[in-house]
Amino acid sequence: MPLIDHLLSAAPVRQALWRLWYPFLTRRLRHDDVLFLNYAFAPDPPSRVPLAPADEPNRACIQLYRHVATQADLAGKDVLEVSCGHGGGASYLTRTLRPRSYIGLDLNPAGIRFCRRRHRVDGLDFVPGAAGKLPFAAGSFDAVVNIEASHCYPAFPRFLAEVARVLRPGGDFLYADFRFRAGIAEWETTLAAAPLRVCDTREINTGVLGGLDQNAVRSMDLIVRRLPRFLRPLGRDFAGIPGSRIYAALQRSEVSYRSWHFKNTSETAGGAAAGR
């Protein structure tokens, strides 16, 4: 295994890298109006959901958000998205699924500034904050959305406890992420121990690979134009370009990309945190 793979397989190194990487990426991409930092999804059969002309270039990324978020009815609900990135998903879901309120939270201050400037939608707000210490009272939300971010968190069990704390009883946790094979058992064990009931789960590697194929040309163009040469291999991996390490790992099932729908099983708001 190359040295870079050894380094990236160590959680503290990986998390420190992402903490630096996201603000750097925001600065590099802000003039290109890049609204999504997650991978993508191409359902089978293909989605026929109509999109506004401004949304159409981001269809593959939007389809991942739709796949995850439409596992519950968000109309009239108070929704929190943890790790909202550049806010494209938050904007799309607010405009189309009609929640009462939608808050996007992210640790990247440059990203939050970008979101506030770029996405001016009624009912949508953006705040800075950490996934392991959500700055909200117990029972503040009907749903929490988290897409392709938890692999960066230093304390995944603490994040899950925070999700249960801020959800109202019976609230929905709408979640998607991936893990390399060596981390899957721990991932599953941690999720099983959380005060959340599984309503549905799916492995979606095939759909994600299809979405990455759809985005490949655009993503590679951004990498070449915006990243120095020595960072382009990392950029290809981050973007899931065909031929990259992460793309090949998804093909070989060395990485499992999954989506979940959970219900909060606490009988009272914040009940999951009461014993901590």
Whether 64 and 40 have beta carbons less than 8 Å apart is answered as yes
pLDDT at 40 over 80: yes
pLDDT at 21: 65
d(CA 162, CA 67): 23
Domains of the chain, each with CATH number or no CATH: 3-34+49-202+258-269 (3.40.50.150)
Summarize pLDDT for 78-88 with one digit per residue, the tens. Answer: 999 999 999 99
Average pLDDT of every residue of the chain? 90
Q: What is the pTM of this model?
A: 0.90
Residues linked to residue 103 through DSSP beta bridges, in sequence order: 80, 125
pLDDT at 4: 41
Weakest mean pLDDT among 36-50, 55-69, 205-219, 246-260: 36-50
For residue 163, which of 137, 144, 150 has the smallest C-alpha distance? 144
pLDDT at 258: 98
Confidence bin at 270 (pLDDT 50/70/90): low
pLDDT at 269 over 70: no
d(CA 74, CA 92): 13
pLDDT at 10 over 90: no
d(CA 186, CA 189): 5
**11-29 and 109-118 are packed helices; what angle lies between their axes, rounded to 10 degrees?**
40
pLDDT at 231: 87
pLDDT at 32: 74
Look at 45 and 94; give whichever has higher pLDDT: 94
Q: Which alpha helices (H) appear in the chain, and where do they start and end?
A: 3-9, 11-29, 59-69, 88-97, 109-118, 156-166, 181-193, 205-226, 232-239, 245-251
Q: Which residues contact 242 (CB under 8 A, 6 or more apart)?
A: 212, 213, 216
Weakest mean pLDDT among 21-30, 162-171, 173-182: 21-30
Summarize pLDDT for 212-266 with one digit per residue, the tens. Answer: 999 999 999 999 998 899 889 888 988 999 999 999 999 999 999 999 999 998 7
Look at 267 and 198; give whichever has higher pLDDT: 198
d(CA 156, CA 154): 6
pLDDT at 275: 37
